[in-house]
Structure 1
């Protein structure tokens, strides 16, 4: 499907949430990230940063049609619902276009479906129709296919616009088997729900594997930024190298 590697690389760039979620991030690094998001091969879909940098990123990307995403209940997923809703409201006030919410996945492993569903519902209510909600299920911790399926169902039934594999802060992040399970749930419940592979996608070959999987399961039209994303940072360097360009990027893994 992707014999033309340059086409595949350009497509992957357009589907990327270029990410920096490091404890020592500062304004200069976020400015560099925003510069990197506009490449010679086209713009990324979004940048994903901590809430305190939203206003800066919005200012820097105002003319570039690049969304600004941020994270809440991150990375542990252990926050109280009212606190997470407050985080969401504040991020939206700062100007966030997209919210990446960590599902209370530990509660789900303990058989508690009510708290995760309630959190997604209330955060989606705060987002409304204007702010995209991506729900991180932390598939590498859930591990079991049944738990990954349940987490995906809870997220979608709660109102998620996207389901996302990982925070990038655990030992196992995106995997093709987990992606397969998540995409299967999407295909059954609502093929308009988006999917985001985050963590461990470092090369064009990695990206092609996920794009082919999604296209085979949901059609080639699914590969648009409205329904498919990569959460990554170092991946951009590899993709630009494939295209004959060079760039610097934060070599973190989200």
Structure 2
């Protein structure tokens, strides 16, 4: 019973920290309406809906007031000029987005041009104003732990509010090893930042492992919707099943 209660506590926290996501290529308005309906549960609301920029206005109109709207910039490739990234950011905020998830120019980082990452984050943060900016590092394609740390440090120096692992659009997405690198960088930063694990997290047990790592590195109780997010679609089903006392559910993940 103690283990079940602990798992349910983790599920309750994970639900509150969830960016319920639909970034599928075939997403349409009906899918956004369905996403918004799922965002409010008997156990509370998710942190945010994460949608394509073209659906930000609709999502803001139909989402519960306490659910943020997150959208993506230069997604999923990160290939754009700084000016294009800034324009996308301003347009997304105009359409109703509350939070910006931006892809860093990770290919340039792999070529040794770390300053490009700092510049991109600085420019997007400037365009975003007070809106939180989550820098997507695409850790699954970076070649080493050292490169992941370089990406994290450059994004921090650029002013990112969150470090996010992945787009969910590459073969390797969120991993605990990448999370440890990013959380360690956050713990050593000279200002507060948040962390977002995205892509491939489907079960309460998997989410719990990330929350336990955050407790270990950042301190017990650090993780909250203000500091920690999961980017997922199918995870919600498993969290609800856990909170209902049912057997864990592994849902098909669209993101």
**Is 2:17 the partner of 1:27?**
no
SS at match of 2:124: helix
Q: Is the 8 A contact 1:20 1:250 kept in 2?
A: no
Residues 42 and 190 (structure 1 numbering): CA distance in 2 closer, same or farther, change over 3 Å?
farther
Q: Contact 2:16–2:44 (CA<8 Å) still a contact in 1?
A: yes
Q: Partners in 1 of 2:229 and 2:245 — Cα distance?
A: 22
Q: What is the rounded CA distance, in whole Å, between the counterparts of 1:18 and 1:60 in structure 2?
A: 14
- 1:10 matched to 2:24? The reply is no
CA–CA distance in structure 2, aligned partners of residues 227 and 107 of structure 1: 28
Mean Cα displacement is larger for which, 219-228 or 165-174? 219-228
Q: TM-score, normalised on structure 1?
A: 0.94
Q: Residue by residue, what CA displacement relative to the aligned partner does 1:52-109 show, whole Å, maximum 9, x if unpaired?
A: 1111111112x43010000001001111111111100100111110000000001000
Give 1:118's aligned residue: 119
Tell me the residue number matched to 1:72.
73
Q: Which runs of 5+ in 2 are unaligned?
A: none
Quick one: distance in 2 between partners of 1:166 and 1:10? 23
Match of 2:129 in 1: 128
Contact kept in structure 2, 1:20 and 1:49, CA below 8 Å: yes
Aligned equivalents of 1:56, 1:251: Cα separation in 2: 25
How far did 1:45 drift? Answer: 0.3
Give the CA deviation at 1:187: 0.7
Residue 136 of structure 1 contacts residue 163 of structure 1 at CA under 8 Å; is this kept in 2?
A: yes
Q: Structure 1's 98 and 245: CA in aligned 2 closer, same or farther, altered over 3 A?
A: farther
Inter-partner Cα distance in structure 1 for 2:254 and 2:214: 21
Moved over 6 A (4+): none
Change in 2 beyond 3 A, CA 1:5/1:28:
same
CA distance in 1, matches of 2:208, 2:47: 17
How many residue pairs match? The answer is 251
- Write the distance in 1 (CA, Å) between the matches of 2:200 and 2:47: 19
CA drift of 1:191 comes to: 5.8
Superposed displacement of residue 251, structure 1:
3.6
Query: What does 1:36-115 align with in structure 2 at a 5 Å threshold?
Result: 36-61=38-63, 63-115=64-116
Contact 2:238–2:251 under 8 Å retained in 1: no
8 A Cα contact 2:49 2:67, kept in partner: yes
Query: Does the 8 Å CA contact 2:104/2:135 hold for their aligned counterparts?
Result: yes
**Distance in 2, Cα, partners of 1:101 & 1:250:** 26
Trace 1:163-178 onto structure 2 (pairs within 5 A): 163-178=163-178
1:211 maps to which residue? 211
Structure 1 CA distance for aligned equivalents of residues 9 and 117 of structure 2: 39
Q: Distance in 2 between matches of 1:219 and 1:128?
A: 29
Say if 1:38 and 1:190 are closer, same or farther in 2 by CA, change over 3 A: farther
Cα separation, 1, equivalents of 2:173 and 2:254? 9
Give the C-alpha shift of residue 250 in structure 1: 8.6
